[in-house]
Amino acid sequence: MTLGGAYDAHALHGFAHDSIARGSKSFALASQLFDRITRERVWLLYAWCRAADDLTDGQDHGGAMQPGHDPAAAVAHIRAQTDRAFAGEPTGEPAFDALGLLLTEIDIPRGVIDDIVAGFELDAKDWRPRSEQDLLRYCYHVAGAVGVAMALVMGVDPVDETTLDRASDLGIAFQLANIARDVAEDAAADRCYLPIEWLVELDIPPGQHMHPAFRPRLSIMAKWLAELAEEYEASARWGARKLPPRSRWAVLAAMGIYGDIAREVRARGDHAWDHRAGTSLFAKLGWVARAGWSVLRRPPGRRISRDGLWTRRADRGMSQLEWLAAALVLVNVSLVVMRSVWNYPFALVAVTLYAFVFYEARLYSDMLLQGFFFVLNLYGWFAWLRARDDSGIPVGWMSDRARAIWASVTISAWVAWSYAMHRYTDAAAPWADGAIAMLSITAQWLLARRRVESWYLWILVDLIAVPLFAWRELYATSGVYLVLLGMSIDGLIQWRRAAARGEVPA
């Protein structure tokens, strides 16, 4: 990357200031609360986002769309010029040079910028959300990822994924407010960002949601959007505690100003789209004052949980590691089903890799579980070798008393552990994650003792893990657990047969 001297910083700062002044009076006002260096950097990032969005839509700071516009070609141009910005090459286009100048000062991972561009691609394809999760994923790409980039500009450590998730939440909240406010404008442009499943639930035919007869039902969806926005705004408010004072002031002011948009849409009910919802200058200045007072006060001590909120994948570079770990798990379980002692070396490597994968996905119970698996696999390897004789690996059943004891211990451990994860960490899914962890510990211990019941527990683990890991976008791991479900069923059948051949139940 070249030094900032390759760019005319003064001219680009002026261009960026004009862009935010034209594009968003609310953000322009809030940006004045930053220190000068941060403010100029925020302007640079905004200018790139604004220009790329306008290129995609064929607009100039909003307004009418150009006839004959080619969105796909526009996105290709955005990608090419963004590549040049990352290479430190001046493009001759102020918006992309603004990004290039910013990148000489701030290390924004390419994956974050690519996530933003993916949002432009969704718009270019005239994409429509089918489910609420689709809607939230879209909100992340067009605004949440911008929040992540803005947090990095404000000085958040790139490895502080917890705070970056909160920054993403703020962008998602802003976009949900936008969608609620702009339902009528989007419909006029033949766009709709209301999930199809919501329309079906309220019995609104596709493309007919602006018909006066459906206005009461549409206002219900606006209420849902506003409530979602409030949840993500509350999470972001907690995350703002990690920002420097002036940045926190600016963010809290913008949060209140934009939050008023969603609140006004909800309050208007059926009349939400009679005219465009907005925030008055007096109200904006009120939020500036309230945000300043919030910065001066001691931050609230009660932690705002992110449980149940949509969460981005923090590091897509981990996907290759996930695929390798997943492949090793499949080899491991195949060897376990065949009762081969060579399952253990594969297991030891797989659990080591998965500790990193689950940490990045904020599935902390599963992350810590890998340490237990490592130790238990060493024990199992030793126990398996000691027990081996010419008749093969002995397999048996537990007694009814042993089953009752293990069930009680497992359930108690699950409740205690999951509550602790829910109360003291930002774990993404503490109860489901905790269930997988505690059931897996019991199943692995019984597997090492060669008890048939272990396979029943593994089947239950698989049934929980498949949807959980898919939700966390660990698709390779979710797929592995789907395969493991079939293999666990097969393992159960084989071990039941082995136990019936003469082993004495425990």
Rounded to whole angstroms, the Cα distance separating 150 from 144 reads: 10
pLDDT tops 90 at residue 170: yes
| pLDDT on residue 502 | 57
pLDDT tops 70 at residue 317: no
pLDDT tops 90 at residue 253: yes
- 244 and 346, same domain (yes or no): no
Neighbours of 466 (CB within 10 A): 19
Please provide residue 239's backbone torsions phi and psi, each rounded to the nearest 5 degrees.
-65, -30
Structural domain harbouring 70: 4-296
- 281 and 408, same domain (yes or no): no
pLDDT tops 50 at residue 367: yes
Q: Is residue 188 part of a domain?
A: yes
The band of 453, judged by pLDDT with boundaries at 50, 70 and 90, is very high
| pLDDT on residue 261 | 92
Nearest to 21 by CA among 9, 12, 29: 29
Higher confidence at residue 501 or residue 131? 131
pLDDT tops 60 at residue 369: yes
pLDDT tops 80 at residue 201: yes
pLDDT tops 70 at residue 48: yes
Rounded to whole angstroms, the Cα distance separating 100 from 41 reads: 11
pLDDT tops 60 at residue 479: yes
Q: Is residue 351 part of a domain?
A: yes
Indicate the residue among 246, 261, 296 that finishes a domain: 296
| pLDDT on residue 390 | 40
Mean pLDDT along residues 255-260:
92
| pLDDT on residue 57 | 85
Q: Is residue 301 part of a domain?
A: no
Q: Is residue 506 part of a domain?
A: no
- pTM value is 0.67
- 155 and 265, same domain (yes or no): yes
Q: Of 106-120, 184-198, 247-261, 302-316, where does mean pLDDT reach its minimum?
A: 302-316
- 327 and 290, same domain (yes or no): no
Q: Is residue 89 part of a domain?
A: yes
CB 179 within 8 A of CB 228: no
Rounded to whole angstroms, the Cα distance separating 267 from 226 reads: 10
Q: Is residue 489 part of a domain?
A: yes
Please provide residue 252's backbone torsions phi and psi, each rounded to the nearest 5 degrees.
-65, -35
- 325 and 291, same domain (yes or no): no
The band of 5, judged by pLDDT with boundaries at 50, 70 and 90, is low
- 269 and 376, same domain (yes or no): no
| pLDDT on residue 333 | 77
| pLDDT on residue 215 | 93
| pLDDT on residue 42 | 96
Rg (CA), the chain: 27
Which residues are within 8 A (CB) of 160 and not within 5 positions of it... i.e. 6 or more apart?
Answer: 242
Rounded to whole angstroms, the Cα distance separating 36 from 183 reads: 36
pLDDT tops 50 at residue 504: no
> For a pLDDT cut of 90, what percent of the chain falls above it?
53
- 101 and 247, same domain (yes or no): yes
Indicate the residue among 263, 296, 329 that finishes a domain: 296
Q: Is residue 177 part of a domain?
A: yes
| pLDDT on residue 62 | 58
Q: Of 44-53, 92-101, 261-270, 376-385, where does mean pLDDT reach its minimum?
A: 376-385
pLDDT tops 50 at residue 142: yes
Mean pLDDT along residues 137-157:
95
Two tokens, residue 473: 């976008």
Two tokens, residue 435: 């269930």
pLDDT tops 90 at residue 316: no
The band of 2, judged by pLDDT with boundaries at 50, 70 and 90, is very low
- CATH of residue 277: 1.10.600.10
CB 472 within 8 A of CB 369: no
Mean pLDDT along residues 240-268:
93
AA identity, residue 477: T
- 198 and 88, same domain (yes or no): yes
Indicate the residue among 238, 264, 296 that finishes a domain: 296
DSSP string, 135-157: HHHHHIIIIIHHHHHHHHHTT--
pLDDT tops 60 at residue 393: no
The band of 505, judged by pLDDT with boundaries at 50, 70 and 90, is very low
Please provide residue 450's backbone torsions phi and psi, each rounded to the nearest 5 degrees.
60, 50
| pLDDT on residue 61 | 59
The band of 64, judged by pLDDT with boundaries at 50, 70 and 90, is low
Q: Of 148-157, 250-259, 311-320, where does mean pLDDT reach its minimum?
A: 311-320
- 240 and 120, same domain (yes or no): yes
Residue 214: alpha-carbon gap to chain centroid: 33
- 323 and 274, same domain (yes or no): no
- 158 and 117, same domain (yes or no): yes
50, 322, 337, 425, 479 from 355: Cα distances, Å: 39, 10, 24, 17, 18
Q: For tokens 């809030």, name the residue.
A: 30
Please provide residue 184's backbone torsions phi and psi, each rounded to the nearest 5 degrees.
-70, -45
Average pLDDT, the chain: 87
pLDDT tops 70 at residue 506: no
Rounded to whole angstroms, the Cα distance separating 426 from 409 reads: 25
Higher confidence at residue 6 or residue 244? 244
- 246 and 386, same domain (yes or no): no
Helices of type H across 92-214: 94-105, 110-124, 132-139, 145-153, 161-181, 183-188, 196-201
Rounded to whole angstroms, the Cα distance separating 36 from 33 reads: 9
Long-range CB pairs of 403-410 (<8 Å, 24+ gap) are: 403/453, 406/442, 406/446, 406/453, 409/442, 410/438, 410/439, 410/441, 410/442
Q: Is residue 370 part of a domain?
A: yes
Two tokens, residue 259: 């939050």
Count of domains for the chain: 2
Rounded to whole angstroms, the Cα distance separating 439 from 444 reads: 8
| pLDDT on residue 480 | 87
Mean pLDDT along residues 251-261:
92
